[in-house]
């Protein structure tokens, strides 16, 4: 006999459905505290998958794309958080999971731990290096301000710049806390890079607040945008005691927004006073320099002799030389005349003829020595010419053709290879004339014309 049971039978789907209803009804809204691990975001769907764990258990969790985009604090591995959501099951793999609707760090300690971890990561990439800092312009023409368009911060900055040194200010309004604030601040920093007129300096400012209120300035997207800015950037976030990661990546940190405005521009009155004082010192220095030079020239002039003293002795010596020359000139002329007469006596026709005969004899001797040398040179040159003429005759193409060679041509082209020879009519050039020939299949008639 077949053994029968009085218990009802369930399908796998029925069991999974009942368990799902029980879990969702029992844990429809829960807050779970745990450490984030194994987090991953699906690039195609945008859903985030992670696990929450403590010392004894692990709970799988999922955060759908819409909820994940709204999270003020994105979960990171190793961060202790409090996740709010509902428990459900996943029948496809017989497991239960937490569907997360919101996440918040488990206290200030968790936020500080996350902040320190991110700070060390970005510092290791060199984003906070002092070598990357750019100097601020002394007197910028255009100042870009990134802050909330409402509130005391923007009014304080504009008022302070107007008091110190009025400049052209461009305000890029952004949200400075809450959802999407980090993306807006980063987009503003990047947008100013291509702005026209391009600011000479940027100020990112916000008033004071809690660490949660200032958290968007700790986001990685904001820090990287500040580090990549080609425009010098001043961070003025919070009060003097507040420090965010953008402060490390900026080129200058101001303790307050008002201090940022003071860093951006000098005081106009102080600058005018400085220019006036510099001009006064320059004029006084020039006056003293000219006075010293005048005194020096006057002192030097006292030691110089007078004009009469300078030329008196020279004039007296000139008179003495003129007197001596007048006495010596007749004797010099007389000696010159005597020398001319002596030389004229030596220049007789007989002496001239004797010198000419001597030079003629010398020329004849040189000609007698040069004649055989010239004749030998002419004979050697004639032999070289005959040798070169003989070589040219051997190289003459007609002489080569007389030995039984011919040149194959087609038009102006000369062929030296049988492979390159085209079919058809060609010209054979011999030493005594040309003949036509046909290359290719056999043709009626004679090969030559």
In this structure, what CATH number is given to the domain that contains residue 24? 2.40.50.140
- Mean pLDDT to the nearest integer, 210-235: 90
Asked which of 29-43, 233-247, 333-347 is least confident by mean pLDDT, the reply is 333-347
- Mean pLDDT to the nearest integer, 79-97: 85
> Backbone phi, then psi, for 233, in 5-degree steps?
-125, 135
pLDDT confidence tier of residue 441, bands split at 50, 70 and 90:
low
Q: Which residue has the tokens 């987090």?
A: 39
Q: Is residue 279 part of a domain?
A: yes
The DSSP line for 163-203 is HH---EEEEEE---SSTTHHHHHHHHHHHHHT-SSPPSEEE
pLDDT at residue 117, as a whole number? 85
In this structure, what CATH number is given to the domain that contains residue 155? 3.40.50.261
Would you state the structure tokens that stand for residue 69, as one six-digit string? Answer: 């985009």
Q: Which residues contact 198 (CB under 8 A, 6 or more apart)?
A: 142, 192, 231
The 10s digit of each residue's pLDDT in 377-412 is 888 888 888 888 877 777 777 777 777 788 888 877
Is residue 2's pLDDT more than 60?
A: no
The 10s digit of each residue's pLDDT in 171-217 is 999 999 888 899 999 999 999 999 888 999 999 999 888 777 888 89
User: Domain range for residue 297?
Assistant: 270-301
Is residue 442's pLDDT more than 70?
A: no
Q: In 3-state terms, what secondary structure has residue 124?
A: helix
pLDDT confidence tier of residue 422, bands split at 50, 70 and 90:
confident
pLDDT at residue 168, as a whole number? 94
pLDDT at residue 3, as a whole number? 59
Is residue 350's pLDDT more than 60?
A: yes
Say whether both 278 and 180 belong to one domain.
no
**Cα–Cα–Cα angle for 283, 287, 293, nearest 5°?**
145
Of the chain, the percentage scoring pLDDT greater than 70 comes to: 95
pLDDT at residue 448, as a whole number? 47
Maximum CA extent, the chain: 181
Q: Where are the beta strands (DSSP E) in 364-417?
A: 407-410, 413-415
**Cα–Cα–Cα angle for 109, 113, 119, nearest 5°?**
140
Distance, in Å, from the CA atom of 240 to the CA atom of 253, rounded to the nearest integer, reads 10
Specify the number of domains making up the chain.
4
Residue 74 near residue 83, CB atoms below 8 Å: no
Is residue 236's pLDDT more than 50?
A: yes
- Mean pLDDT to the nearest integer, 69-81: 81
Q: Is residue 216 part of a domain?
A: yes
Q: Which residues contact 278 (CB under 8 A, 6 or more apart)?
A: none
CA 126 and chain centroid, separation: 20
pLDDT confidence tier of residue 108, bands split at 50, 70 and 90:
low
Is residue 430's pLDDT more than 80?
A: yes
Would you state the structure tokens that stand for residue 231, as one six-digit string? Answer: 């425009």
pLDDT confidence tier of residue 224, bands split at 50, 70 and 90:
very high
Q: Is residue 330 part of a domain?
A: no
Return the higher-pLDDT residue of 111 and 49.
49
- Mean pLDDT to the nearest integer, 92-121: 81
Asked which of 147-151, 153-157, 325-329 is least confident by mean pLDDT, the reply is 325-329
With left for phi above 0 and alpha for psi between -120 and 50, is residue 434 left, alpha or beta?
A: beta
- Mean pLDDT to the nearest integer, 358-363: 86
Q: Is residue 387 part of a domain?
A: no
Say whether both 253 and 283 belong to one domain.
no
Would you state the structure tokens that stand for residue 311, as one six-digit string? Answer: 């030329």
Say whether both 124 and 257 belong to one domain.
yes
The 10s digit of each residue's pLDDT in 37-54 is 888 888 888 899 998 888
Q: In 3-state terms, what secondary structure has residue 60?
A: strand
Say whether both 126 and 244 belong to one domain.
yes
Mean pLDDT: which of 85-94, 298-307, 396-405 is highest?
85-94
Say whether both 276 and 258 belong to one domain.
no
pLDDT at residue 204, as a whole number? 95
> CA 125, 130, 132, 134 torsion: positive or negative?
positive
Distance, in Å, from the CA atom of 234 to the CA atom of 240, rounded to the nearest integer, reads 14
Cβ neighbour number for residue 174 with a 10 Å cutoff: 22
Say whether both 55 and 69 belong to one domain.
yes
Is residue 449's pLDDT more than 60?
A: no
- Mean pLDDT to the nearest integer, 107-113: 69
Would you state the structure tokens that stand for residue 353, as one six-digit string? Answer: 């003829």
Say whether both 220 and 200 belong to one domain.
yes
Distance, in Å, from the CA atom of 97 to the CA atom of 32, rounded to the nearest integer, reads 12
Q: Is residue 339 part of a domain?
A: no
> Whose CA is closest to 73, among 178, 184, 175, 148?
178
Distance, in Å, from the CA atom of 206 to the CA atom of 182, rounded to the nearest integer, reads 13
Q: Is residue 125 part of a domain?
A: yes
Say whether both 99 and 126 belong to one domain.
no
Is residue 170's pLDDT more than 80?
A: yes
Is residue 110's pLDDT more than 80?
A: no
Say whether both 167 and 90 belong to one domain.
no
Chosen domain end from 251, 266, 281: 266
Say whether both 297 and 217 belong to one domain.
no
Identify any residues that bridge with 82 across adjacent strands, giving them in sequence order: 33, 104
Q: Is residue 90 part of a domain?
A: yes
pLDDT at residue 154, as a whole number? 92
pLDDT at residue 413, as a whole number? 83
**Cα–Cα–Cα angle for 179, 184, 185, nearest 5°?**
110
Q: Is residue 197 part of a domain?
A: yes
Say whether both 257 and 291 belong to one domain.
no
Asked which of 7-11, 32-36, 200-204 is least confident by mean pLDDT, the reply is 7-11
Say whether both 97 and 146 belong to one domain.
no
- Mean pLDDT to the nearest integer, 302-315: 74
Cβ neighbour number for residue 88 with a 10 Å cutoff: 17
């Amino acid at each position: 006999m077949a053994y029968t049971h009085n218990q009802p039978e369930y399908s796998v789907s029925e069991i999974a459905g009942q368990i799902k209803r029980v879990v969702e009804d029992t844990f429809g809204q829960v807050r779970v505290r745990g450490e984030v691990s194994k987090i991953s975001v699906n690039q195609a769907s945008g859903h985030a998958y992670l696990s929450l764990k403590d010392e004894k258990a692990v709970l799988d969790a999922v955060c759908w794309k819409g909820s994940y985009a709204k999270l003020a604090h994105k979960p990171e591995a190793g961060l202790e958080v409090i996740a709010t959501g509902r428990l459900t099951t996943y029948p496809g793999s017989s497991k239960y999971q937490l569907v997360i609707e919101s996440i918040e760090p488990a206290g200030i300690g968790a936020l500080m731990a996350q902040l320190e971890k991110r700070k060390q990561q970005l510092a290791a990439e060199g984003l906070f290096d002092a070598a990357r800092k750019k100097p601020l312009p002394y007197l910028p023409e255009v100042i870009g301000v990134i802050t909330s368009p409402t509130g005391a911060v923007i009014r304080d900055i504009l008022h302070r710049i107007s008091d110190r040194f009025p400049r052209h200010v461009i305000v890029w309004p952004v949200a400075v806390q809450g959802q999407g604030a980090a993306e807006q601040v980063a987009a503003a920093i990047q947008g100013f890079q291509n702005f026209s007129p391009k600011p000479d300096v940027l100020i990112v400012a916000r008033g004071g607040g809690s660490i949660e209120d200032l958290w968007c300035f700790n986001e990685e997207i904001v820090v990287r945008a500040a580090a990549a800015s080609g425009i010098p950037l001043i961070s003025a976030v919070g009060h003097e005691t507040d420090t965010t990661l953008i402060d490390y990546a900026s080129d200058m940190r101001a303790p307050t927004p008002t201090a940022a405005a003071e860093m951006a521009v000098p005081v106009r009155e102080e600058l005018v006073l400085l220019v006036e004082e510099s001009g006064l010192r320059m004029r006084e220095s020039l006056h003293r320099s000219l006075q010293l030079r005048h005194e020096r020239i006057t002192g030097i002039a006292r030691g110089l002799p007078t004009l009469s003293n300078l030329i008196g002795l020279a004039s007296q010596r000139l008179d003495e030389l003129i007197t001596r020359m007048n006495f010596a000139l007749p004797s010099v002329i007389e000696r010159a005349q005597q020398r001319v007469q002596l030389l004229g006596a030596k220049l007789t026709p007989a002496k001239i003829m004797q010198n000419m005969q001597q030079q003629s004899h010398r020329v004849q001797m040189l000609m007698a020595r040069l004649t055989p040398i010239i004749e030998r040179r002419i004979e050697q040159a004639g032999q070289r010419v005959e040798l070169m003429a003989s070589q040219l005759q051997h190289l003459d193409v007609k002489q080569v053709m007389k030995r039984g060679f011919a040149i194959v041509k087609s038009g102006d082209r000369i062929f030296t290879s049988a492979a390159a020879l085209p079919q058809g009519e060609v010209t054979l050039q011999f030493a005594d004339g040309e003949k036509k020939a046909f290359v290719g299949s056999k043709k009626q008639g004679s090969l030559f014309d």
